[in-house]
């Protein structure tokens, strides 16, 4: 019976394939990490071939583990790390360079030049986004400028651009023979190249960044059949029926379909989205406006988003660069061995600060240190940083929308951390609620595919799948929470104005 749905989650640190049954339950999971490549300070790359190899492997492994074949699947949904730019040659299928990852800041000089002429918000009306290295456009421009021969090949129509879902779908559907070149509205809304109201590529913006239109994928809905899998053979014939950027997928997977509903995902970074329905709401407080989803021919739904670059990756940094923990989950044990951070505050502005500050000149700062502070306090300061940054974003959402959040729905790998979730509730003064399934990113992609292929009749029917897993209530007096938020914001000021002529964005 074709009642299962396959989800592929091509994330920043790993690629996962998850098989879901018709109740939205997990049948099997396969996952592989890929290399994080740091050629210089500020540069972050992935190998697109490694991502494609891992994709084939996890799909085959998940199907094998579930004991299912292609005919058992109604469809497949794909979700992905957003903004990361891949450019490849349609004649050979070879990438012309490594993927430039969303965290990569090498294009700051181009962003500065563009911002000098009209300000950082000059394209905000069209795109909903500030000018920042974070989004894809400047990364594509960098590849065309710096890879020998790329500009000429692009102008001759030989090169294709895509964020990771586009690259993966082109390969899944038969690459140079029959590869389909598509992206969905949610991913397209993160490029700085799409007009939010027409949902089409903007010729003006393509011209500003010097990107030939022939490189750009077709923009499709988030839920709808676009083609069939050809590779890997284990999945041959499964319809590709859902595409969502990872944060929009998590929002969809939390069943936050209606205006006012929100979620906060604790992954490599943190991303808080609040659905604003059919209305395009413009932020006055440092949030970005993005497409939440579009199902079939319906009008698109939009969201306000607070994007935080570094939360879980700070925990990885404690593990990989400092070696004070040996696994990410160990941070919780170390942090809970102390009552508080001992006065230490950690502002992880490793690639500048994203929402709500948008300060590329910021760099990481660990402040408030005394002889008293030990590694447990630093571990605690690291997980508290995710909670403080989320508080900053929620304050911006309240200021922009007038909505008072009554609870916060959370998900992602970091939401397993009970210490961090309790502190999050303390610092917000509202309950924090984690669903039974925290793989909401993959679940959202599965929902989009299952809606398009008749596994589920409508979004309403999906709401019934949502189950509460655990809930934390605020336990800290408000005055104490407010005092710590003031100290956090003082710490943020210490991280600003670091990058100047002595410390360029590249060193
Ligand atoms: N106990 C914990 N406390 C805090 N953070 C944790 C804990 N366990 C895992 N993490 C962090 O969670 C992140 C992994 O979560 P998840 O798998 O959701 O990430 P992700 O962002 O989806 O990955 P990707 O970026 O590849 O999509 C890692 O950055 C890790 O450091
Ligand atoms: Mg993820």
**pLDDT tens-digit map of 36-94:** 999 998 899 999 999 999 999 999 999 999 999 999 999 999 999 999 999 999 999 99
Pocket of ligand 1 (CB under 6 A): 11-14, 81, 246, 267-268, 312-313, 315-316, 328-329, 331-332, 383, 412-414, 416-417, 420
Ligand 1 centroid to 269 CA: how many Å? 8
Ligand 1 centroid to 410 CA: how many Å? 13
Six-digit token string for 365 = 């700062």
pLDDT of 364 higher than 90: yes
Six-digit token string for 217 = 């994928």
Q: Tell me if 162 sits within 8 A of 217, measured CB to CB.
A: yes
pTM: 0.92
Ligand 2 centroid to 79 CA: how many Å? 9
DSSP 3-state assignment of 41?
A: coil
Q: Read off the DSSP letter of residue 128.
A: S
The per-residue b/e assignment along 410-436, b for 16 or more CB within 10 angstroms, e otherwise, is: bbbbbbbbebbbbbbbbbbebebbbbe
pLDDT of the residue at 41: 86
DSSP 3-state assignment of 112?
A: helix
pLDDT of 327 higher than 90: yes
Query: Which of 414, 435, 441, 442 to probe ligand 1 with, by most ligand atoms within 8 A of CB?
Result: 414
d(CA 390, CA 414): 13
Atom nearest to 319 CA in ligand 1: 31
Atom nearest to 13 CA in ligand 1: 26
pLDDT of 2 higher than 80: no
Sign of the CA dihedral with 248 first, then 16, 393, and 127 last: negative
Mind listing the pLDDT tens digit for each residue in 99-150? 999 999 999 999 999 999 888 899 999 999 999 999 999 999 999 999 999 9
pLDDT of the residue at 139: 98
Which residue's CA is the nearest one to ligand 1's atom 20?
267
Atom nearest to 265 CA in ligand 1: 18
The per-residue b/e assignment along 26-55, b for 16 or more CB within 10 angstroms, e otherwise, is: bbbbbbbebebeeeeebbbbbebbbbbebb
Query: What backbone phi and psi angles, to 5 degrees, belong to 308?
Result: -115, 125
Q: Which of 469, 295, 327, 307 is nearest to 396 (CA)?
A: 307
Six-digit token string for 300 = 């698109």
pLDDT of the residue at 1: 54
Which residue's CA is the nearest one to ligand 1's atom 6?
414
Mind listing the pLDDT tens digit for each residue in 329-349? 999 999 999 999 999 999 999
pLDDT of the residue at 507: 47
pLDDT of the residue at 438: 87
Ligand 2 centroid to 412 CA: how many Å? 7
Q: Which of 410, 464, 463 is nearest to 438 (CA)?
A: 410
Atom nearest to 332 CA in ligand 1: 1
Ligand 2 centroid to 101 CA: how many Å? 14
Atom nearest to 412 CA in ligand 1: 18
Starting from the CA of residue 382, give the closest ligand: 1
Query: Which of 246, 267, 319, 334 to probe ligand 1 with, by most ligand atoms within 8 A of CB?
Result: 267
Q: What is the mean pLDDT of the chain?
A: 95
Q: Where are the alpha helices (DSSP H) in 184-319?
A: 185-188, 203-209, 246-253, 312-317
Sign of the CA dihedral with 423 first, then 424, 428, and 430 last: negative
Which residue's CA is the nearest one to ligand 1's atom 28?
312
Ligand 1 centroid to 115 CA: how many Å? 33
Q: Where are the alpha helices (DSSP H) in 147-202?
A: 150-155, 164-172, 175-178, 185-188
d(CA 394, CA 263): 11
DSSP characters over 50-92: HHHHHHHHHHHHHHHHHT--GGGEEEEEEEE-SS-BEEEETTT
- Can you tell me which residue has the tokens 């000098």? 116
pLDDT of 238 higher than 60: yes
Starting from the CA of residue 250, give the closest ligand: 2
Q: Where are the alpha helices (DSSP H) in 173-319?
A: 175-178, 185-188, 203-209, 246-253, 312-317
Mind listing the pLDDT tens digit for each residue in 8-20? 999 999 999 999 9
CA angle (476 as vertex; 473, 482 as ends), nearest 5: 120
Which residue's CA is the nearest one to ligand 1's atom 10?
414
Atom nearest to 313 CA in ligand 1: 29
Ligand 2 centroid to 119 CA: how many Å? 32
Q: Where are the alpha helices (DSSP H) in 173-300?
A: 175-178, 185-188, 203-209, 246-253
Could you give the percent of the chain with pLDDT greater than 90?
91
pLDDT of the residue at 402: 86
pLDDT of 282 higher than 70: yes
Atom nearest to 315 CA in ligand 1: 31
Mind listing the pLDDT tens digit for each residue in 365-407? 999 999 999 999 999 999 999 999 999 999 999 998 888 888 8
pLDDT of the residue at 152: 97
Which segment of 102-106, 298-302, 464-468 scores lowest on mean pLDDT? 464-468
Query: What backbone phi and psi angles, to 5 degrees, belong to 145?
Result: -75, -35
pLDDT of 220 higher than 50: yes
Ligand 1 centroid to 268 CA: how many Å? 6
Could you give the percent of the chain with pLDDT greater than 70?
99
pLDDT of the residue at 504: 65
d(CA 247, CA 48): 21
Starting from the CA of residue 413, give the closest ligand: 1
DSSP characters over 3-27: -EEEEEEE-SSEEEEEEE-TTS-EE
Atom nearest to 14 CA in ligand 1: 26
Six-digit token string for 53 = 């190899």
């Amino acid at each position: 019976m074709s009642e299962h749905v396959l989800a592929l989650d091509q994330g920043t640190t790993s690629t996962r394939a998850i098989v879901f049954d018709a109740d939205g339950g997990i049948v099997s999971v396969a996952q592989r990490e890929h290399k994080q490549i740091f050629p210089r300070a500020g540069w972050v790359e992935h190998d697109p071939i490694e991502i494609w190899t891992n994709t084939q492997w996890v799909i085959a492994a998940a199907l094998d583990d579930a004991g299912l074949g292609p005919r058992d699947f109604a469809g497949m949904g794909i979700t992905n790390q957003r903004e990361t730019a891949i450019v490849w040659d349609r004649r050979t299928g070879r990438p012309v360079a490594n993927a430039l990852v969303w965290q990569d800041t090498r294009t700051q000089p181009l962003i500065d030049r563009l911002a000098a002429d009209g300000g950082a918000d000059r394209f905000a009306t069209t795109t909903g986004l500030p000018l920042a290295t974070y989004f894809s456009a400047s990364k594509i421009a960098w590849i065309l400028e710096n890879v020998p021969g790329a500009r000429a090949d692009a102008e001759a129509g030989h090169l294709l651009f895509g964020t990771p879902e586009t690259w993966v779908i082109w390969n899944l559907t038969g690459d140079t023979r029959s590869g389909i070149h598509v992206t969905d509205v949610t991913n397209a809304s993160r490029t700085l190249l799409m007009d939010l109201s027409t949902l089409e590529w903007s010729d003006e913006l393509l011209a500003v960044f010097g990107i030939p239109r022939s490189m750009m994928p077709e923009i499709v809905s988030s839920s709808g059949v676009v083609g069939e899998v050809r590779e890997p053979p284990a999945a041959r014939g499964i319809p590709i029926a859902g595409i969502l950027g990872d944060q929009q997928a998590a929002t969809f997977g939390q069943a936050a379909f209606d205006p006012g509903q929100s979620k906060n995902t604790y992954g490599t970074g943190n991303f808080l989205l609040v659905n604003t329905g059919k209305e395009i709401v413009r932020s006055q407080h440092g949030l970005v406006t993005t497409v939440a989803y579009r199902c079939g021919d319906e009008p698109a739904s939009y969201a306000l988003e607070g994007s935080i670059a570094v939360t879980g990756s700070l925990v990885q940094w404690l593990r990989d660069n400092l070696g004070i923990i040996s696994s990410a989950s160990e941070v919780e044990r170390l942090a809970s061995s102390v009552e508080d951070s001992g006065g230490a505050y950690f502002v992880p502005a490793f690639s500048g600060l994203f929402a709500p500050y948008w300060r590329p000149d910021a760099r990481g700062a660990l402040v408030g240190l005394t002889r008293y502070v030990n590694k447990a306090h630093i571990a605690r300061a690291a997980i508290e940083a995710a909670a403080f940054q989320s508080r900053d974003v929620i304050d911006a959402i309240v200021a922009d929308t007038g909505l008072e959040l009554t609870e916060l729905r959370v998900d992602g790998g970091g939401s397993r951390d009970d210490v961090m979730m309790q502190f999050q509730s303390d610092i917000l003064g509202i309950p924090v609620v984690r669903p039974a399934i925290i793989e909401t990113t993959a679940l959202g992609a599965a929902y989009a595919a299952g809606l398009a292929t008749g596994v589920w009749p409508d979004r309403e029917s999906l709401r019934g799948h949502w189950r509460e897993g655990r809930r934390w209530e605020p336990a800290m007096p408000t005055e104490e929470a407010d005092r710590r938020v003031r100290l956090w914001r003082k710490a943020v000021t210490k991280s600003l104005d670091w990058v100047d002529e002595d410390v360029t964005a590249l060193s």
